[in-house]
Structure 1
Amino acid sequence: MIYIYNCYGGTHSSILAIAYHLEILDETREPTKDEILNLPNFNKLVYGNRGELFYYGTDKCGNKVYAVGRGGSKVLIPGLYNLASMLHKQNLLNEKIIFSNTSATVPLPMTFGGVFSRWLKLDFIGVPLLIKGAKQSYKNIIKLVNQTKKISNENKSNVIILDNNEFKS
């Protein structure tokens, strides 16, 4: 199975989701500032990375875990869904793929932190807001990851898109 977590930039909430999915972060407690900042690609991707799939590892069940930033695109994830569905129909792909949107978990501090840090290059304002947002949202992100895993195991479809709107901050 392939998990693809997605959010606006692919560098904040999706990275946190991947960290919990791959058990890089301990889900029994709030992450520390250093743990957050040391995550692979946390707050490091730029506009040109949108649409690029990044592989982060294999989970304990042997599933591959990726992230993608979709920017403001409303067609990227449906397009990838259609591509994966077509490959399944032609027997060119036999792995189940689940797209899980992490954007609903993003609280206001993380939104503003991303704007200040990634867009305006003002890390001294943005990074503390990102840390605050990551700490504020970690329980919702853990719930999202656990629900993503549960649905992927229960749903028999070959390709699944999860909007996860029930996790709105």
Structure 2
Amino acid sequence: MIYIYNCYGGTHSSILAIAYHLKILDEKQEPTKDEILKLPNFNKLVYGNRGELFYYGSDEDGNKVYAIGRGRSKVLIPGLYNLASMLHKQSLLSEKIVFSNTSPTVPLLMTFGGLFSRWLKIDFIGVPLLVKGAKQSYKNIIKLVNHTKKTSKEGQSGVIILDNKEFKKK
């Protein structure tokens, strides 16, 4: 199976989801600032990385885990879905692929943190906001990851898209 977590930039909420999926971060406690900032590609990707698939490792079941930033594109994930579905139909791909949107877990602090840090290049404002946002959203991200894993095992389709709107902070 292949998991592809996706969000706007591919550098914040999707990285946190990958860290919980791959057990880099402990689900039982709030992550520390250092743990968050040491995650691979956390707050490091730039505009030019959008649409690029990044591999982060395999989980305990041998499933490959990736992230992609989609920017404002409404067609990237559906396009990848269509490509993967076509490859399945032609028996060129047999692994199940799960696209899981992590954007609904992003709190306002993380949105502003990303804006200040990635767009305006003002890290001394953006990074603390990102860390606070990551700490604020960690339980919700863990729920999303667990939902993604559970749904992937239950689903019969070879390619699944999870919009995860039920994880939107209210």
TM above 0.5 = yes
**How is 1:86-165 mapped onto 2 (pairs within 5 angstroms)?**
86-165=86-165
Aligned-residue CA RMSD (Å): 0.2
For residue 91 of structure 1, report the CA deviation from its aligned partner: 0.6
For residue 98 of structure 1, report the CA deviation from its aligned partner: 0.2
Which amino acid in the other structure matches residue 15 of structure 2?
I
For residue 30 of structure 1, report the CA deviation from its aligned partner: 0.2
Deviation per CA, 1:121-143, whole angstroms, max 9, x where unpaired?
00000000000000000000000
Structure 1 distance, partners of 2:130, 2:106, is 10
Deviation per CA, 1:58-102, whole angstroms, max 9, x where unpaired?
000000000000000000000000000000001100000000000
For residue 20 of structure 1, report the CA deviation from its aligned partner: 0.0
Matching residue of 1:166 = 166
For residue 154 of structure 1, report the CA deviation from its aligned partner: 0.4
Matching residue of 1:14 = 14
Q: Does 1:46 align with 2:79?
A: no
Structure 1 distance, partners of 2:152, 2:87, is 19
For residue 3 of structure 1, report the CA deviation from its aligned partner: 0.1
Matching residue of 1:4 = 4
Which amino acid in the other structure matches residue 132 of structure 1?
K
Deviation per CA, 1:16-70, whole angstroms, max 9, x where unpaired?
0000000000000000000000000000000000000000000000000000000
Structure 2 distance, partners of 1:67, 1:86, is 21
For residue 149 of structure 1, report the CA deviation from its aligned partner: 0.1
Give unpaired runs (5+ residues) of structure 2: none
Structure 2 distance, partners of 1:82, 1:57, is 24
Structure 1 outlier segments of 4+, above 4 Å: none
For residue 110 of structure 1, report the CA deviation from its aligned partner: 0.1
**How is 1:32-71 mapped onto 2 (pairs within 5 angstroms)?**
32-71=32-71
TM-score by length of 2: 0.99
Q: Percent identity?
A: 85
Structure 2 distance, partners of 1:60, 1:156, is 21
Secondary structure of the corresponding residue to residue 57 of structure 1: strand
Give unpaired runs (5+ residues) of structure 1: none
Structure 2 distance, partners of 1:154, 1:91, is 21
Q: What count of residue pairs does the alignment treat as equivalent?
A: 169
Which amino acid in the other structure matches residue 119 of structure 2?
W
Structure 2 distance, partners of 1:121, 1:49, is 16
TM-score by length of 1: 1.00
